[in-house]
Amino acid sequence: MKIKRIAVLTSGGDSPGMNCAVRSVVRFAHWKGIEIFGVMHGYRGLISEEFIPLGPRDVSNIISRGGTILKAARCEEFYEKEGREKAYKNLISRNIDGLIVIGGDGSFHGALLLHQEFGFPVVGIPGTIDNDINGTQRTLGFDTALNTAMSAIDKIKDTATSMDRIFLIEVMGRLSSAIAVFSALAGGAEDVIIPGERTDLKNMIEKIEEGRKKGKKSWIIIVAEGAGKAEEFAREFRKYISDVRVTVIGHLQRGGGPSAFDRILGALMGQAAVQALLEGKHCHAIGWRNDDVIVYKLQEAIKPQDRGKISFYHQLIHILT
């Protein structure tokens, strides 16, 4: 089947770099002589027919902008087969031959069902700050979010050091530990609390008290949001240590202009997604492995993340103090 028309959408939570991928999809497809449609508001727009034709000039000046010009959304209807059927019919009625979905794990599940139930060609680009898609070493937006978290830790550390305080800093990542572990490493934090591991608060408190006796008065502990609320951990700490402060970095980590790495990753992944559709890869994901773009099965991408990667994160924690 010759691909003549492609649609692209961004789905789930927005992440920095999504615009770079959209720009790349549009410009590369145009160069290949393919017509391209943007779908507003993710799967919701597929169902409510929010298609807009996109040309190379429509994606000018978005490379440095965070968020997504196509808007990202969550869509209850797409969880149901009837909703997906409506989406399929809307694609077919416009003679669209392939769909590129930029989003996280949930969005990939939806894309897989659209392919399995109706045979519609789909390619997924992993767009999430959580770095939690199986089979790829990087997702789009993770590098930017990590750098934002690191900058925040640097700033908080100035106060922690000057005022001899203990800080618990909560970072994003849902059930993923990636931002927490890597921002702790990059920011020089003393400890990290991550999901999937019983946190030995008593041991942490002992370490802090020992450190204080030796003159180390400030301490930074990064809390992955999936492990629990930093404020709740702080309550436990305060039973033994005064002057424990909490900062929740929150949505600051989702926004902002993408890093150079995410811009380039978006460009390479967008190009690869169009190319994959042209080559008849109709149920695939784009990933990043060993410094190169890869194309692999969508089924592989939605599997739970490799345990090896998770235990590697756990090992890194021992470098901190």
Residues designated catalytic: 130
Task: Closer to ligand ADP by CB, 43 or 233: give it.
Answer: 43
67 makes contact with ligand ADP (CB under 6 A) = no
- Name which of 176, 179, 174 is nearest 149 in CA terms: 179
By CB under 6 A, the residues from 110 to 139 that bind ligand ADP are 110, 113, 128
Q: In what order do the strands lie in the sheet with 5-10?
A: 51-53, 35-39, 5-10, 98-103, 122-126, 283-289, 292-297
SS3 300: helix
**Which residue in 74, 207, 216, 245 binds ligand ADP (CB under 6 A)?**
74
State the number of binding residues for ligand ADP (CB under 6 A). 17
CB of 111 to ligand ADP, least distance (A): 8
Helices 105-118 and 81-93, packing angle to 10 deg: 70
* Contact stretch for ligand ADP (CB under 6 A) within 101-109, 212-220, 287-295, 307-315: 101-109
Task: Closer to ligand ADP by CB, 12 or 187: give it.
Answer: 12
Q: Which residue is nearest to ligand ADP (CB)?
A: 106
User: 244 Cβ partners below 8 Å, 6+ apart?
Assistant: 165, 166, 167, 168, 234, 237, 238
**CB 211: neighbour CB atoms within 10 A?**
15
Q: How far is it, in rounded angstroms, from Cα 140 to Cα 128?
A: 6
Task: Report DSSP state, residue 320.
Answer: -
CB of 294 to ligand ADP, least distance (A): 20
Q: How far is it, in rounded angstroms, from Cα 282 to Cα 115?
A: 8
**Which residue in 3, 6, 9, 12 binds ligand ADP (CB under 6 A)?**
12
Specify whether the CB–CB gap between 145 and 129 falls below 8 A.
Answer: yes
CB of 125 to ligand ADP, least distance (A): 11
Task: Closer to ligand ADP by CB, 65 or 109: give it.
Answer: 109
* Contact stretch for ligand ADP (CB under 6 A) within 18-26, 75-83, 242-250, 264-272: 75-83
Report the amino acid identity of residue 49.
E
Q: How far is it, in rounded angstroms, from Cα 285 to Cα 27?
A: 20
SS3 151: helix
CB of 291 to ligand ADP, least distance (A): 25
256 makes contact with ligand ADP (CB under 6 A) = no
Q: Compute φ and ψ for 88, nearest 5 degrees.
A: -60, -45
By CB under 6 A, the residues from 231 to 250 that bind ligand ADP are none
Binding mask 279-318 for ligand ADP (x = CB under 6 A): ----------------------------------------
CB of 85 to ligand ADP, least distance (A): 12
Task: Closer to ligand ADP by CB, 16 or 103: give it.
Answer: 103
Specify whether the CB–CB gap between 31 and 90 falls below 8 A.
Answer: no
Partners of residue 285 on adjacent β-strands? 124, 296
Task: Closer to ligand ADP by CB, 30 or 296: give it.
Answer: 296
Four-residue CA torsion sign, 87, 88, 92, 93: negative
Task: Closer to ligand ADP by CB, 13 or 287: give it.
Answer: 13
CB of 15 to ligand ADP, least distance (A): 8
14 makes contact with ligand ADP (CB under 6 A) = no
**Which residue in 78, 182, 233, 237 binds ligand ADP (CB under 6 A)?**
78
Query: Which residues in this chain contact ligand ADP in the complex, by CB under 6 A?
Result: 11-13, 43, 74-75, 78-79, 103-107, 109-110, 113, 128
